[in-house]
Amino acid sequence: MKTSATWTAAIRPRTCSPLWRKPPESWKARLEAACRFPGGSYSPELFFRADDIGAGGRAFHALCDLFRKHGVPLALAVVPAWLSRSRVDQLFQSAPLEEDLWGWHQHGWRHVNWQKAGKKSEFGEQRPLDKQWKDIWQGSNKMKEIFGERALPVFTPPWNRFSDATLVVLEQLGFEGISTTEHLPRNSKAAKRLTNLRILVDLHTRKGDDPEQDYEKLLRELSGVLARKEPVGIMIHHQRMTPFAFQFLDAFLEIVRKNKPDAFRHLSDLI
């Protein structure tokens, strides 16, 4: 079987975090040492979410091959407005619709920033409810047209940011889950009807300037999520993955699969 390094040797992303430019010294041994699993019958619950899905390509194909190799589900956060017929065909060449591994779900509408100030958000406080409703409704309809019953009632807000109005719209349109890095507000009635599928580890949009320090930080993050008792999400951006990023993910999936083969969750199991 080909290794991740073999299939991805020619991939050169335009942008990547410093961590993924070259492997740190003894990276795999350090990863293995960081992956400590609780004893007994307890198993962590992990799900993987790949963001900004809108077209196929070499990196997307390699990512799907990697998860297929390990038999691990992958939640695919699709930007509906990015999809054309040819792009849909590309996606299905790498991730066939009939294959059970893929958790197709909605990632905003156009993935554009509407905030005039502050951090980027497509559905932030500066976006009125009626405009949010229209965009999410359009995106939901397009998802159902393309993916049919495979489209899950889960919403990933671009940049992992949302407002109270977003939660109201999601509840009104029949969504069952939202996937974000944040806690949901306790005083929101709409939030109480949504399952929060939280992301706690960001693999590829990391901000660290020092690769060695960032690698140690990532290992601590992964060690922490393996000890948690609630479902934990790990976020992927395939457009930013280097050959080493593929190698690392390949090794991590293999380590977890050997030690806790029932740790991986499909998005549909969590809502």
pLDDT by residue (tens digit) across 68-77?
999 999 999 9
Please determine, for residue 4, whether its predicted confidence score (pLDDT) is greater than 80: no
Type of residue numbered 206: R
Residue 6 has pLDDT above 70, yes or no: no
Residue 1: predicted pLDDT: 41
Give, in order, the Cα–Cα distances in Å from 151 to each of 79, 103, 156: 12, 8, 13
Measured on CA atoms in the order 85, 106, 139, 125, is the torsion positive or negative? Answer: negative
Range 62-67 average pLDDT: 97
Q: What residue has token string 């993916």?
A: 147
Provide the CATH topology of domain 4-269.
TIM Barrel (3.20.20)
- Distance separating alpha carbons of residues 110 and 79, to the nearest angstrom: 6
pLDDT of residue 14: 87
pLDDT digits (tens, 9 = 90+) for 116-158: 999 999 999 999 999 999 999 999 999 999 999 999 999 999 9
Cβ atoms within 10 Å, residue 199: 20
**pLDDT confidence bin for 11, thresholds 50/70/90:** confident
Instruction: Say if residue 24's pLDDT is above 80.
Output: yes
**pLDDT value at position 223?**
96
Judged by DSSP in three states, 49 sits in strand
- Residue for token pair 């009104």: 172
